[in-house]
Structure 1
Amino acid sequence: MRVLLSSYGSRGDIEPLAALGAGLQSLGAEAIVCAPPEAEFAELLNRAGLPLVPAFSSVRDWVQTAKESGLGLPRLAAVMVAAQFEVMAAAATGCDAIVATGLFPSVAAARAVAETLGIPFVCAVFCPLLLPSPHHPPFEYPGQPHPPGMTDNRALWTFNIEAKQALFGEAVNTHRASIGLPLVDNVRDHIFTRRPWLASDPVLGAWQATDMIDAVQTGAWILPDDRPLPVDLAAFLDAGPPPVYIGFGSMAMSVAGGTPGDAARIAIEAVRAQGHRVILARGWANLAQVDDREDCLAIAEVNQQALFCRVAAVVHHGGAGTTTTAARAGAPQVVVPQVVDQPFWARRVAELGIGAAHDGPVPTLDSLSDALGIALAPETRARATEVAGTIRGDGAMVAARMMIDLIER
Structure 2
Amino acid sequence: MRVVLSTYGSRGDVQPMAGLAVRLRELGAEVRVCGPADEEFAELLSGVGVPLLPFGPSARALTKAAPPPSSLPQRAAEVIASQLDVVTAAAEGCDVVVATGMISAAAGARSVAEKLGIPSVSVTFQQLTLPSPRRRPLAYPGRPLPPEVTDNRVLWDLDAQSINALFGEALNTNRASIGLPPVDDVRDYVIGDRPWLATDPALDPWQETPDLAVVQTGAWILPDERPLPVELSAFLDAGAPPVYVGFGSMPMHASTDAARTAIEAVRAQGHRALVSQGWADLGLIDHLADCFAVGEINHQALFGRVAAVVHHGGAGTTTTAARAGAPQVVVPQIADQPYWAGRVADLGIGAAHQGPAPTFESLSAALESALAPETAARAKAVAGTVRADGATVAAKLLFDAARREKPRVSA
Assess same fold via TM > 0.5: yes
DSSP-derived class of the 1:203 partner: coil
Gaps of 5+ in 2: 405-411
Select the residue among 351, 363, 366 that pairs with 1:368: 363
> 1:338 — aligned with what?
333
> Aligned-pair distance for 1:146?
2.0
Give the letter for the 1:351 counterpart. Answer: D
Match of 1:403 in 2: 398
Q: Give the distance between the partners of 1:320 and 1:171, measured in 2 at CA.
A: 28
Q: Which residue of 1 aligns with 2:31?
A: 31
Q: Is the counterpart of residue 232 in structure 1 residue 227 in structure 2?
A: no
Secondary structure, aligned partner of 1:102? coil
Q: 1:187, CA displacement in angstroms?
A: 1.1
Which SS does the other structure have where 2:100 is aligned?
Answer: strand
Q: What pairs with 1:114-125 in structure 2 (closer than 5 Å)?
A: 114-125=113-124
Do the aligned partners of 2:123 and 2:195 also contact (CA within 8 Å) in 1? yes
- Contact 2:60 2:249 survives alignment (8 Å): no
Letter in 1 for 2:245: I
Which amino acid counterpart does residue 362 of structure 1 have in structure 2?
A
Asked if residue 9 in structure 1 is aligned to residue 4 in structure 2, the reply is: no
Question: 1:279 maps to which residue?
Answer: 274
Gapped regions of structure 1 (runs ≥ 5): none
Q: Does 1:384 align with 2:379?
A: yes
Distance in 2 (CA, whole Å) between partners of 1:80 and 1:40 is 19
8 Å Cα contact 1:120/1:407 also seen in 2: no
For 2:77 and 2:252, locate their aligned partners in 1 and report how far apart those are by CA, in whole Å.
Answer: 29
Is the contact made by 1:123 and 1:191 (CA closer than 8 Å) also made in structure 2? yes
Cα deviation 1:16-61 (Å, max 9, x = unaligned): 0001111111111111111223222122112222111112222134
In 1, Cα distance between the equivalents of 2:61 and 2:104?
Answer: 17
The match for 1:350 among 345, 368, 373 is 345
Q: Which residue pairs with 1:47 in the alignment?
A: 47
- CA distance 1:189–1:8, change in 2 (3 Å): same
Alpha carbons of 1:63 and 1:372: their partners in 2 closer, same or farther (altered >3 Å)?
closer
1:167-209 CA-to-partner distances (Å, cap 9, x unmatched) read 1111111211221111121111011111110000001111111
Deviation at 1:76, TM superposition (A): 2.0
CA distance in 1 between partners of 2:394 and 2:128 (Å):
20
Distance across 1 between alignment mates of 2:305 and 2:71: 45
Query: What is the TM-score of this pair, normalised by structure 1?
Result: 0.96
Tell me, yes or no, if the aligned pair for 1:254 and 1:263 is still in contact at 8 Å: no
Residue 7 of structure 2 aligns to a residue whose secondary structure is strand
Residue 185 of structure 1 corresponds to 184
Amino acid aligned to 2:22: A
CA distance in 2, matches of 1:5, 1:51: 11
Instruction: Give yes or no for contact 1:56–1:87 (8 Å, CA) kept in 2.
Output: no
Q: Is the 8 A contact 1:195 1:215 kept in 2?
A: yes
Q: How big is the shift at 1:387? A: 0.3
Q: Which amino acid aligns with 2:314?
A: G
Structure 2 CA distance for partners of 1:300 and 1:148, relative to 1, 3 Å: closer
Cα deviation, residue 159, structure 1: 1.5
The number of aligned residues is: 404
Alpha-carbon distance in structure 2 between the residues aligned to 1:344 and 1:159: 20
Give TM-score, length-normalised by structure 2: 0.95
Alignment RMSD? 1.5
Q: How far 1:254 moved relative to its partner? A: 4.6
Hey, what's the Cα distance between the residues in 2 that align with 1:42 and 1:73? 25
TM-aligned CA distance change 1:350 to 1:148, over 3 Å: closer
Equivalent-residue separation in structure 2 for 1:5 and 1:201 (angstroms): 20
**8 A Cα contact 2:56 2:78, kept in partner:** no
Whole-Å separation in 1 of the counterparts to 2:157 and 2:386? 33
Compared CA separation, residues 116 and 65, structure 1 to 2 (3 A): farther
Q: CA deviation at 1:65?
A: 7.5
Counting aligned pairs with the same residue, the percent is: 62
**Residue identity in the other structure for 1:126:** F
